[in-house]
Amino acid sequence: MVTLSEENYLKAIYHLAKPDKASVSTNAIATKMLTKASSATDMIKKLAEKGLVDYQKYQGVHLTEKGRFAAVFVIRKHRLWEVFLVKKLNFSWDEVHEVAEQLEHIKSEKLTQQLDAFLDHPTEDPHGDPIPDCEGNLPSTQKILLAQIERAESCICVGVKDSTSQFLQYLDKHNIALGTKIEVLSKESFDESMSINVKNHQLTISKEVAHNLFVKIS
Amino acid sequence: MVTLSEENYLKAIYHLAKPDKASVSTNAIATKMLTKASSATDMIKKLAEKGLVDYQKYQGVHLTEKGRFAAVFVIRKHRLWEVFLVKKLNFSWDEVHEVAEQLEHIKSEKLTQQLDAFLDHPTEDPHGDPIPDCEGNLPSTQKILLAQIERAESCICVGVKDSTSQFLQYLDKHNIALGTKIEVLSKESFDESMSINVKNHQLTISKEVAHNLFVKIS
DNA sequence: ATAAATTTTTAGTCTTGTCTAAATTTTAAG
DNA sequence: CTTAAAATTTAGACAAGACTAAAAATTTAT
C-alpha cells in the first residue's frame, strides 16, 4: 500500500528524473514538494524500504521499476480526470489541476478503467500531455519548444510546459489553444522575443512564453 | 478546514442522530467508526473546538448547524458520486460504496455543482437514498419497511436500509431492484417471514430481508 | 440508596509526515 | 590539496489520529 504522500513524492521524483537517467537530489525533491530537505530524506528512506526507489546516502535516488510504475499510474489517473473535468464537466484547462491533484489518489482499478473507457481512451490531457496506458507506457511524442524555432516557419500548438493558470489564461486571451496554428514571422536575437501570427492576428511573445509552449512543425 | 477524518466522524454522528434529536453517545460513535471510545473522545473534542458539535463531558454530542451542514454536504457528494458510478461508469449498486467513500472527500465546490448538473440533478442515489440539495435540504420521503406491511398488499421497492454488497446481491439474484413491484401474499407470524410475488415469481423472504427493504404502497 | 456494571475520559504511547538545529558528507574554490 | 560552501543526514520535537490501561462519572440493579 502506497500512501497519498508517498504517491506525491513518487510523482515529483518521476518528473524530476524524466529527461535523463541521472539521480534525483534530495534538495530537488524537497523544493518540488515545498518541504524541507530533512523531510525529503525521511520520505526517501520510507520509499527505499518499500522498494520504490534505489537510494544511497548522499547520492540521491532513482525510481525502481515498481516506483516508476506507481508514479506513472498516478499520472495516468491525474490526466484522465483532467480530461473528464474539461470534456464532461465544462472546466477550463486552467481550472483542472488542483482538483485532479485530489482525484488522482482515489484507489479503484475499476474506476480508472471505466473512466478511461467512458472518455474513449484519450491519449492526451487538456494541456497536451500524453496519458500513459494501463501498462504504464507513454506514447512517444515529438514536440519541440516554440523557442527552438529559429526561422520563419509554421507550426501547431501541441502542449504547454508551464500549466499554471496564469500562463493558460494568457494563452486563452490570445486565442492560443491546443491545435492552434502558429506562424513564426521573426525572432529578435536581442531578447529572444518572437513575432508570430495567430488566427490572422500578429502578436509579439516574450522568451518566457516561447519557452513554455510546445509545438510541432506543420 | 475540516479534515477527512473529521468529515467521517460528522457523517457518523449525523447518521446516528438521524431519527430523533437525542444526543449521540461516545460509544455509539466509536462503534460506528470502528475505533475505540478514547479515540472518539479525542475527536469529539476537536469537533467541539471547531464549533461542529455541542459537547458536554459524559453527555454525548449534538451536531451544530455548521456541523450538520458539513455532514450533509459530504453525504450529498457521496450520493452524487454513486449516481455517477452507476449511470456513467457501469458500476453495479453493490460496488459503489467503497469508491464513493473516497470521492466524497474531494474538495471543490465547482466539481460538485457541475457533477450534479451533468447527472441532471438526481434526487436519489442508486440505493434509493435521497440526495440533499446544495443548501443541505433533504427531500422528505415517506417510505416504510416491507416488514411493516401486515396484510396482502401491493407495494414498490424504493430503497434499502442495509446496503452491503451481500444484501444487494441477494436482491439482484431475486430480481428486486428500485422500482420493482412487490406483492405481499402472506406473512408468517411465527418467524415474520413473508411470502411475496416478484415479477411472477413467488418467493419467501426472511424477517432480515423484510427489515432491510424500503417500499411505498402502490 | 448504595454497590456493581457500564460508559466515558484521561494519561501516556505510537505512527506518519512535518519541522528546526546541529552534525556530517560532498563539492567547489583557491 | 586543503578549506570554505553547499548539500544531506541525524537528532529531537510537534500535530493528527489512533491505541492501551487506568481513573472517573454515570447508570443500573439490588
Task: Look at A91 and B110 and tell me if their CB atoms are within 8 Å.
Answer: yes
**Count of pairs with CB atoms under 8 A, one residue in A, one in B:** 39
A7-17 mean pLDDT: 97
pLDDT digits 0-9 by tens, B7-53:
999 999 999 998 777 899 999 999 999 999 999 999 999 999 999 99
Q: Is A169 on the interface with B (CB under 8 A)?
A: no
B168-183 mean pLDDT: 96
Task: Look at A95 and B102 and tell me if their CB atoms are within 8 Å.
Answer: no
pLDDT above 90 for A174: yes
Can you give the pLDDT at residue A169? 96
Can you give the pLDDT at residue A139? 85
Q: How far apart are CA A212 and CA A190, in angstroms?
A: 19
Residue B146 per-residue DSSP state: G
Q: Which nucleotides of C are covered by protein (CB under 7 A)?
A: 7-12, 16-22, 25-26
pLDDT digits 0-9 by tens, A158-171:
999 999 999 999 99
The reply to whether the CB atom of residue A60 sits less than 7 A from any atom in nucleic acid chain D is: yes
Q: What is the mean pLDDT of chain A?
A: 95
Nucleotide nearest to A61 (CA to C1'): D8
By C-alpha distance, the chain B residue nearest A109 is B99
B182-205 mean pLDDT: 95
The reply to whether the CB atom of residue B48 sits less than 7 A from any atom in nucleic acid chain D is: no
Interatomic separation, CA of residue B69 and C1' of nucleotide C5, rounded (Å): 37
Q: How far apart are CA B178 and CA B126, in angstroms?
A: 8
Residue nearest to nucleotide C25 (CA to C1'): A58
A199-209 mean pLDDT: 95
Can you give the pLDDT at residue A39? 97
Contacts of B110 in chain A (CB under 8 A): 91, 95, 99
Q: Are A130 and A124 in contact (CB under 8 A)?
A: yes
Can you give the pLDDT at residue A164? 93
Can you give the pLDDT at residue A140? 81
Residue nearest to nucleotide D26 (CA to C1'): B58
Can you give the pLDDT at residue B142? 86
Task: Look at B102 and A99 and tell me if their CB atoms are within 8 Å.
Answer: no
Can you give the pLDDT at residue B17? 92
State the residue for C-alpha cell 457533477: B115
- Helical segments of chain B, H only: 4-17, 26-33, 37-49, 65-87, 96-103, 109-118, 165-173, 207-210
pLDDT digits 0-9 by tens, B91-121:
999 999 999 999 999 999 999 999 999 999 9
The span from the first CA to the last CA of chain B, in angstroms, equals 45
Interatomic separation, CA of residue A118 and C1' of nucleotide D14, rounded (Å): 45
B125-146 mean pLDDT: 93
Q: How far apart are CA B146 and CA B161, in angstroms?
A: 11
A32-45 mean pLDDT: 97
Q: Is B113 on the interface with A (CB under 8 A)?
A: no
Question: Least CB-CB distance to A102: which of B98, B99, B107?
Answer: B107
State what percent of residues in chain A have pLDDT above 70. 100
Can you give the pLDDT at residue B94? 96
Can you give the pLDDT at residue A4? 97
pLDDT above 90 for B218: no
Domains and their CATH numbers in chain B? 4-63 (1.10.10.10), 144-217 (2.30.30.90)
Residue nearest to nucleotide C24 (CA to C1'): A58
pLDDT digits 0-9 by tens, A43-78:
999 999 999 999 999 999 999 999 999 999 999 999
State the residue for C-alpha cell 485530489: A102
Q: How far apart are CA A187 and CA A110, in angstroms?
A: 50
Give the list of residues 6+ apart from residue B185 with CB closer than 8 angstroms, or none.
B152, B194, B195, B196, B197, B202
Can you give the pLDDT at residue B21? 79
Task: Look at B95 and A110 and tell me if their CB atoms are within 8 Å.
Answer: yes
Band of residue A88 on the pLDDT scale cut at 50, 70, 90? very high
Interatomic separation, CA of residue A38 and C1' of nucleotide C21, rounded (Å): 11
